[in-house]
């Protein structure tokens, strides 16, 4: 079995509202030691849209000792900032950059999106971060091909969508291009459908479960472990998307991952205790020892 690319959109630890580089490194190294291949700083799970370019650069610098394992998310509403970070990524010789399309503003012309990715990826190899529900734009296979025809060096796409038809079309109709699933629920699907890998927010805390999914992708145990991961992801949303992940990391790995940035508020002691109780119930239900 060929192991697919496993990518963790790593949470960003904050202390006094500043990026805590030491905690970021400690958590990131633990994730890599746990079997994941790449770290994806400044993504959605890492609160990237809330961060200034200088803070994203802090993360780039924090992981300078492991550049081959880093994919920095540089997309923003300011293309100049994104290009600056892509040029810095080149200096640090990381694996690649990734980029959300321009978001919030509606009515962005198709050709503008193509030009955006073409300009950015001409600076450094770029993975498109396709997240239609939050950006308002769906980067489809025909757009990817047009970016490549225009000279863009786009090397892959993170598909944060449940539209499997779009995902498979991109895999089928774009040559020399990696396709990664984004939802935690699609890790098993990535293996069974012959995709190139996955990006999983749950891998911040659940990499041991993901390793079990991978080991058992061709049997029913793979389904069991995927169902367990799905329940944990549901609990994360129940107790507060993103904020809960900081607690789940400490509960499952013992690593202090710091705090989120407000307005993503830290869970109360009562919320954390309730979350941990429900996590333990899920472990027992699926016969998993963390």
Backbone angles phi, psi at 255, to 5 degrees: -85, 130
CA angle 150, 5, 73 (to 5 degrees): 55
- Catalytic residue, chosen from 116, 117, 124, 129, is 129
Read out DSSP for 144-164? HHHHHHTT--EEEEEE-SS-H
Q: Cis before residue 263, ω within 30 degrees of 0? A: yes
- The answer to whether residue 117 is catalytic is no
Is 129 among the residues known to form the active site? yes
**Half-sphere CA count of 287, side-chain side, radius 13 A:** 2
- 14-15 and 18-19 beta bridge pairing: antiparallel
199 in a known ligand binding site: yes
Q: Is 45 annotated as a binding residue?
A: yes
Task: Name the active-site residue from 56, 158, 178, 212.
Answer: 158
- In degrees and rounded to multiples of 5, residue 201 shows phi and psi of -60, -30
Structure tokens at 9: 């959109």
From CA 108, how far away is CA 143, in angstroms rounded?
14
Task: Give dist(CA 203, CA 237) in Å, integer.
Answer: 15
Strand partners, 127: 98, 156
Binding-site residues from annotation: 45, 199
Binding-site residues from annotation for pyruvate: 45, 199
Known catalytic residues?
129, 158
């Amino acid at each position: 079995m060929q192991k697919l690319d496993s990518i963790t959109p790593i949470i960003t630890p904050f202390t006094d509202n500043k990026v805590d580089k030491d905690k970021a490194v400690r958590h990131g190294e633990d994730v890599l030691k746990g079997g994941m291949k790449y770290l994806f700083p400044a993504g959605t799970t890492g609160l990237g849209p809330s961060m200034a370019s200088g803070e994203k650069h802090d993360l780039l610098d924090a992981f300078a000792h492991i550049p081959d394992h880093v994919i920095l998310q540089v997309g923003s509403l300011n293309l100049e900032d994104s290009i600056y970070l892509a040029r810095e990524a080149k200096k640090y010789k990381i694996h690649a950059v990734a980029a959300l399309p321009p978001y919030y503003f509606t009515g962005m012309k198709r050709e503008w999106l193509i030009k955006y990715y073409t300009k950015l990826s001409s600076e450094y190899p770029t993975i498109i971060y396709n997240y239609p529900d939050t950006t308002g734009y769906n980067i489809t296979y025909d757009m990817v091909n047009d970016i490549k025809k225009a000279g863009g060096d786009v090397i892959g796409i993170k598909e944060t969508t449940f539209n499997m038809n779009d995902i498979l079309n991109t895999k089928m109709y774009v040559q020399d291009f990696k396709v990664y699933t984004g939802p935690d629920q699609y890790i098993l699907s990535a293996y069974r459908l012959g995709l190139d890998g996955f990006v999983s927010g749950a891998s911040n805390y659940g990499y041991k479960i993901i390793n079990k999914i991978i080991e058992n992708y061709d049997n029913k145990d793979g389904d069991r472990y995927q169902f367990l991961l799905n329940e944990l992801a549901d609990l994360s949303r129940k107790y507060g998307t993103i904020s809960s992940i900081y607690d789940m990391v400490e509960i499952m790995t013992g690593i202090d991952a710091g705090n989120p940035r407000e307005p993503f508020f830290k869970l109360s002691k009562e919320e954390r205790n309730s979350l941990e109780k429900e996590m333990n119930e899920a472990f027992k239900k699926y016969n998993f020892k963390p």
